[in-house]
Copies of this chain bind each other. A is one copy, B any other.
Amino acid sequence: MEPIPQAPPGAARPGGRTARTRGQVLEAVASLLLEGGFDAVTMDAVAARSGIHRTTIYRRWRDPGALLADSFEAAREQPWQPPDTGSLLGDLTEINQQIVTALTAEPSVTRALITASFRSPAAAEALQRFWDDRFTTAAVVVERAAPDADPRTILVASCAPIFYELALMRSPATPDMAARYARSATAAATT
Protein backbone atom coordinates (compact mmCIF):
# COMPACT_ATOMS: atom_id res chain seq x y z
CA MET A 1 0.00 0.00 0.00
CA GLU A 2 2.73 2.38 0.92
CA PRO A 3 6.07 2.31 -0.69
CA ILE A 4 8.28 0.18 1.49
CA PRO A 5 10.54 2.94 2.75
CA GLN A 6 13.78 3.35 0.87
CA ALA A 7 15.43 4.85 3.94
CA PRO A 8 16.46 2.44 6.69
CA PRO A 9 13.23 1.83 8.56
CA GLY A 10 14.77 1.51 12.00
CA ALA A 11 16.91 4.59 11.69
CA ALA A 12 14.12 7.11 12.09
CA ARG A 13 12.77 5.49 15.23
CA PRO A 14 13.45 7.17 18.49
CA GLY A 15 16.10 6.05 20.83
CA GLY A 16 18.26 3.20 21.66
CA ARG A 17 21.34 1.48 20.45
CA THR A 18 19.23 -1.55 19.52
CA ALA A 19 17.08 0.49 17.16
CA ARG A 20 20.16 2.10 15.65
CA THR A 21 21.81 -1.28 15.13
CA ARG A 22 18.69 -2.59 13.45
CA GLY A 23 18.53 0.48 11.22
CA GLN A 24 22.15 0.05 10.12
CA VAL A 25 21.73 -3.68 9.49
CA LEU A 26 18.50 -3.32 7.50
CA GLU A 27 19.98 -0.48 5.49
CA ALA A 28 22.87 -2.80 4.61
CA VAL A 29 20.38 -5.56 3.66
CA ALA A 30 18.50 -3.17 1.36
CA SER A 31 21.61 -1.91 -0.40
CA LEU A 32 23.03 -5.43 -0.87
CA LEU A 33 19.69 -6.62 -2.18
CA LEU A 34 19.54 -3.81 -4.71
CA GLU A 35 23.08 -4.48 -5.88
CA GLY A 36 23.07 -8.23 -6.16
CA GLY A 37 19.69 -9.68 -5.26
CA PHE A 38 19.04 -12.40 -2.72
CA ASP A 39 22.39 -14.13 -3.25
CA ALA A 40 24.25 -10.96 -2.22
CA VAL A 41 22.58 -10.87 1.21
CA THR A 42 25.01 -13.07 3.13
CA MET A 43 25.64 -12.65 6.86
CA ASP A 44 29.26 -11.70 6.17
CA ALA A 45 28.35 -9.10 3.57
CA VAL A 46 25.75 -7.58 5.88
CA ALA A 47 28.32 -7.39 8.70
CA ALA A 48 30.89 -5.77 6.43
CA ARG A 49 28.43 -3.30 4.94
CA SER A 50 26.76 -2.30 8.19
CA GLY A 51 29.84 -2.21 10.39
CA ILE A 52 27.95 -4.30 12.94
CA HIS A 53 29.73 -7.33 14.37
CA ARG A 54 28.82 -10.73 12.88
CA THR A 55 28.06 -12.15 16.31
CA THR A 56 25.49 -9.44 16.97
CA ILE A 57 23.86 -10.05 13.60
CA TYR A 58 23.73 -13.83 14.02
CA ARG A 59 22.31 -13.51 17.52
CA ARG A 60 19.43 -11.38 16.37
CA TRP A 61 18.65 -12.66 12.87
CA ARG A 62 20.09 -16.15 12.44
CA ASP A 63 20.04 -16.19 8.60
CA PRO A 64 19.44 -14.07 5.48
CA GLY A 65 15.76 -15.08 5.39
CA ALA A 66 15.29 -13.60 8.86
CA LEU A 67 16.99 -10.39 7.71
CA LEU A 68 14.63 -10.08 4.77
CA ALA A 69 11.62 -10.91 6.93
CA ASP A 70 12.65 -8.20 9.37
CA SER A 71 12.91 -5.73 6.47
CA PHE A 72 9.22 -6.31 5.76
CA GLU A 73 8.51 -6.16 9.48
CA ALA A 74 10.23 -2.79 9.75
CA ALA A 75 8.20 -1.53 6.79
CA ARG A 76 5.05 -2.79 8.47
CA GLU A 77 5.87 -0.82 11.63
CA GLN A 78 6.05 2.42 9.67
CA PRO A 79 2.96 4.50 10.33
CA TRP A 80 0.67 4.57 7.32
CA GLN A 81 -2.64 6.33 6.95
CA PRO A 82 -5.07 5.40 4.19
CA PRO A 83 -5.97 8.33 1.97
CA ASP A 84 -9.23 10.22 2.46
CA THR A 85 -9.93 12.06 -0.78
CA GLY A 86 -13.69 12.16 -0.41
CA SER A 87 -14.49 9.31 -2.81
CA LEU A 88 -13.82 5.58 -3.07
CA LEU A 89 -12.44 6.05 -6.58
CA GLY A 90 -10.10 8.77 -5.36
CA ASP A 91 -8.90 6.74 -2.40
CA LEU A 92 -8.28 3.55 -4.41
CA THR A 93 -6.50 5.53 -7.12
CA GLU A 94 -4.22 7.11 -4.51
CA ILE A 95 -3.41 3.73 -2.95
CA ASN A 96 -2.69 2.26 -6.40
CA GLN A 97 -0.52 5.24 -7.23
CA GLN A 98 1.54 4.64 -4.09
CA ILE A 99 2.08 1.03 -5.19
CA VAL A 100 3.03 2.11 -8.73
CA THR A 101 5.54 4.57 -7.25
CA ALA A 102 7.05 1.92 -4.98
CA LEU A 103 7.32 -0.69 -7.74
CA THR A 104 8.75 1.66 -10.38
CA ALA A 105 11.29 3.50 -8.21
CA GLU A 106 14.83 3.10 -9.52
CA PRO A 107 16.10 1.28 -7.64
CA SER A 108 13.03 -0.25 -5.98
CA VAL A 109 13.52 -1.89 -2.60
CA THR A 110 9.91 -3.06 -2.78
CA ARG A 111 10.48 -4.90 -6.06
CA ALA A 112 13.72 -6.39 -4.78
CA LEU A 113 12.00 -7.64 -1.62
CA ILE A 114 9.17 -9.20 -3.60
CA THR A 115 11.71 -10.98 -5.80
CA ALA A 116 13.60 -12.16 -2.71
CA SER A 117 10.37 -13.50 -1.21
CA PHE A 118 10.53 -16.25 -3.86
CA ARG A 119 13.81 -17.41 -2.32
CA SER A 120 12.89 -17.44 1.36
CA PRO A 121 9.74 -18.80 3.02
CA ALA A 122 10.34 -16.49 6.01
CA ALA A 123 10.43 -13.47 3.71
CA ALA A 124 7.31 -14.71 1.90
CA GLU A 125 5.42 -14.91 5.19
CA ALA A 126 6.58 -11.46 6.19
CA LEU A 127 5.47 -10.09 2.82
CA GLN A 128 2.03 -11.55 3.37
CA ARG A 129 1.85 -10.10 6.91
CA PHE A 130 2.86 -6.70 5.60
CA TRP A 131 0.08 -6.60 3.01
CA ASP A 132 -2.54 -8.15 5.28
CA ASP A 133 -1.76 -5.41 7.76
CA ARG A 134 -2.03 -2.65 5.16
CA PHE A 135 -5.31 -4.07 3.83
CA THR A 136 -6.74 -4.14 7.34
CA THR A 137 -5.79 -0.49 7.84
CA ALA A 138 -7.18 0.43 4.42
CA ALA A 139 -10.51 -1.36 4.92
CA VAL A 140 -12.07 1.89 6.14
CA VAL A 141 -11.76 3.31 2.62
CA VAL A 142 -14.22 0.69 1.36
CA GLU A 143 -16.37 0.53 4.49
CA ARG A 144 -17.30 4.19 4.51
CA ALA A 145 -18.21 4.23 0.80
CA ALA A 146 -19.72 0.78 0.21
CA PRO A 147 -20.81 -0.80 3.50
CA ASP A 148 -22.16 -3.92 1.77
CA ALA A 149 -18.95 -4.74 -0.05
CA ASP A 150 -16.20 -6.98 1.33
CA PRO A 151 -13.28 -4.60 1.91
CA ARG A 152 -10.50 -7.07 1.22
CA THR A 153 -12.07 -8.26 -2.05
CA ILE A 154 -12.37 -4.67 -3.29
CA LEU A 155 -8.85 -3.73 -2.19
CA VAL A 156 -7.37 -6.83 -3.85
CA ALA A 157 -9.45 -6.23 -7.00
CA SER A 158 -8.00 -2.72 -7.13
CA CYS A 159 -4.34 -3.41 -6.25
CA ALA A 160 -3.70 -6.90 -7.64
CA PRO A 161 -3.65 -5.78 -11.30
CA ILE A 162 -0.85 -3.32 -10.42
CA PHE A 163 1.21 -6.12 -8.86
CA TYR A 164 0.36 -8.40 -11.77
CA GLU A 165 1.51 -5.91 -14.41
CA LEU A 166 4.56 -4.44 -12.66
CA ALA A 167 5.87 -7.22 -10.40
CA LEU A 168 4.81 -10.41 -12.19
CA MET A 169 4.69 -9.45 -15.88
CA ARG A 170 7.34 -6.73 -15.46
CA SER A 171 5.43 -4.54 -17.90
CA PRO A 172 6.15 -0.81 -17.93
CA ALA A 173 3.81 1.40 -15.90
CA THR A 174 1.28 3.42 -17.86
CA PRO A 175 0.08 6.84 -16.68
CA ASP A 176 -3.53 5.71 -16.28
CA MET A 177 -3.06 2.29 -14.70
CA ALA A 178 -3.63 3.39 -11.09
CA ALA A 179 -6.95 5.02 -11.96
CA ARG A 180 -8.01 2.32 -14.42
CA TYR A 181 -8.01 -0.52 -11.92
CA ALA A 182 -9.30 1.70 -9.12
CA ARG A 183 -12.24 2.37 -11.46
CA SER A 184 -12.99 -1.31 -12.10
CA ALA A 185 -12.80 -2.06 -8.36
CA THR A 186 -15.07 0.89 -7.57
CA ALA A 187 -17.62 -0.43 -10.06
CA ALA A 188 -17.44 -3.82 -8.34
CA ALA A 189 -17.94 -2.25 -4.90
CA THR A 190 -20.97 -0.24 -5.87
CA THR A 191 -22.81 -2.65 -8.16
Interface positions of A (Cβ within 8 A of B):
114-115, 118, 124, 127-128, 131, 153-154, 156-157, 159-161, 163-165, 167-171, 180-181, 183-185, 187-188, 191
The count of identical subunits is: 2
A164 contacts across to B, CB distance below 8 A: 156, 159-160, 163-164
- CB–CB A127/B184 < 8 A: no
Q: Do the beta carbons of A128 and B191 come within 8 Å of each other?
A: no
Q: Knowing A160-B160, A160-B164, A164-B163 are in contact, say whether A131-B188 is a contact too (CB < 8 A).
A: no
Residue of B nearest to A155 (CB): B161
Specify which of B127, B157, B170, B183 is in contact with A124 (CB 8 Å cutoff). Answer: B170
Given A184-B154, A191-B191, are A171 and B128 also a contact pair (CB < 8 Å)?
A: yes
The answer to whether B169 touches A127, judged by C-beta atoms less than 8 angstroms apart, is yes
Among candidates B127, B153, B181, B191, residue contacting A157 with C-beta atoms closer than 8 Å: B181
For A160, give the chain B residue with the smallest CB separation: B164
Q: How far is the CB of A189 from chain B (nearest CB, A)?
A: 8
Distance, CA A135 to CA B24, complexed state (A): 45
Expressed in whole angstroms, the minimum distance between the Cβ of A128 and any Cβ of chain B is: 5
> Which chain B positions have C-beta within 8 A of A168?
114, 127, 163, 167-168
**Chain B residues, CB < 8 A from A165:** 156, 160
Q: Kindly list 12 other residue pairs between chains A and B, CB separation below 8 angstroms, not including A159-B164, A183-B188, A188-B188.
A: A114-B168, A128-B170, A156-B164, A156-B181, A157-B161, A160-B161, A160-B164, A167-B168, A184-B184, A184-B185, A187-B188, A191-B191
